[in-house]
Amino acid sequence: MTLVPSSTRLPCGNRVLDLAHTHVMGILNVTPDSFSDGGRFSQLDAALRHAEAMVAAGATLIDVGGESTRPGARAVSPLEELERVAPIVERIHRELDVIISVDTSTPAVMRETARLGAGLINDVRSLRRDGALDAAAATGLPVCLMHMLGEPGDMQDNPHYDDVTSEVGAFLAERMASCAAVGIAAERIILDPGFGFAKNLQHNLSLFKHMEALHALGRPLLVGVSRKSMIGQALNRPVGERLHGGLALAALAVVKGARILRVHDVAETVDVVRMITAVESAE
């Protein structure tokens, strides 16, 4: 195996993610109330088959989530979340060659899924739940910190920013400092601007336009806009008709330096990344 420079190597459990180029993360919601695919993959075998299909289509990470974070989503207990997530993490780890990301804010879920083979903690609350910082630190895994104000139940009530990009950057810098205080080094951190979380359409568009400013934080960016309302509002499209808008944003995100694209439509997004790579690597 050829080693890449250490600055681009992110150890993820028993695998390494090479952040010298852009990766596609496939979304696997094992929740009955996700906004886009709620309930479709809540049964273990169906979830595993879908994960297999996304890996075959080119996903290098699978993001497993057991708690919906759509606007207005109901809270679930740690036990219920763990019962949804743990079996599929264990099966994927045993059967597929892929990095498992766990979309969770719950300390017990972080600890147990790390034990079962997860390679990345992806927390929309940026480790702000009680005990989450210590739990994430104890796993030794990399973490993705996302910008969000409030909670999913109230985050869209009336979000306000004077300068959305600088305020998102300041929030993420503060969360990185909190991580450092418990021993989570910057080298273990990925940052997510949090499109669609406590942001209206204009906030989302402005943040996307100026996303390069977040590179000043020195960490790779994860972008998740697949099928989100910003596409629906900009194009007047329902959830099932947002693929083309999502692919346009995926292409823009790659050009703006994003290193992970979190998506539902893996095969189509992989084609976008490969096509850009082909052009960029030409003489």
Q: What is the pLDDT of residue 72?
A: 67
Active site residue 228: yes
**Closest listed residue to residue 208, CA positions, set 217, 199, 220:** 199
Dihedral of alpha carbons 147, 152, 154, 156, sign: positive
Residue 264 is encoded by which pair of tokens? 């539902």
Per-residue pLDDT at 200: 95
**Structural domain boundaries of the chain?**
22-68+76-280
CB 61 within 8 A of CB 269: no
What span, in angstroms and rounded, lies between the C-alpha atoms of 198 and 220? 22
209 is catalytic: no
| CB burial readout 5-14, b (16+ within 10 A) else e | eeeeebebbe
Q: Which pLDDT does position 74 carry in this prediction?
A: 73
CB contact at 8 A, 18 and 8: yes
| Token pair belonging to 178 | 């909190």
Per-residue pLDDT of the chain (283 residues; tens, 9 = 90+): 333 344 689 999 999 999 999 999 999 998 775 444 444 555 888 999 999 999 999 999 999 999 887 766 677 899 999 999 999 999 999 999 999 999 999 999 999 999 999 999 999 999 999 999 999 999 999 999 999 987 766 767 778 899 999 999 999 999 999 999 999 999 999 999 999 999 999 999 999 999 999 999 999 999 999 999 999 999 999 999 999 999 999 999 999 999 999 999 999 999 999 999 999 999 9
Amino acid letter, 213:
A
Helices and strands per DSSP (H, E), number in the chain? 9, 10
Nearest CA to 232 among 32, 35, 67, 27? 35
CA distance 40 to 50: 10
What contacts 22, CB < 8 A, 6 or more positions away? 254, 258, 259, 260, 261, 273, 277
Classify domain 22-68+76-280 by CATH number.
3.20.20.20
From the candidates 125, 199, 228, 259, give the one annotated as an active-site residue: 228
The pLDDT of residue 43 is: 84
Angle at 132 between CA 216 and CA 140, to 5 degrees: 70
Alpha-carbon gap, residue 170 to 177, rounded angstroms: 11
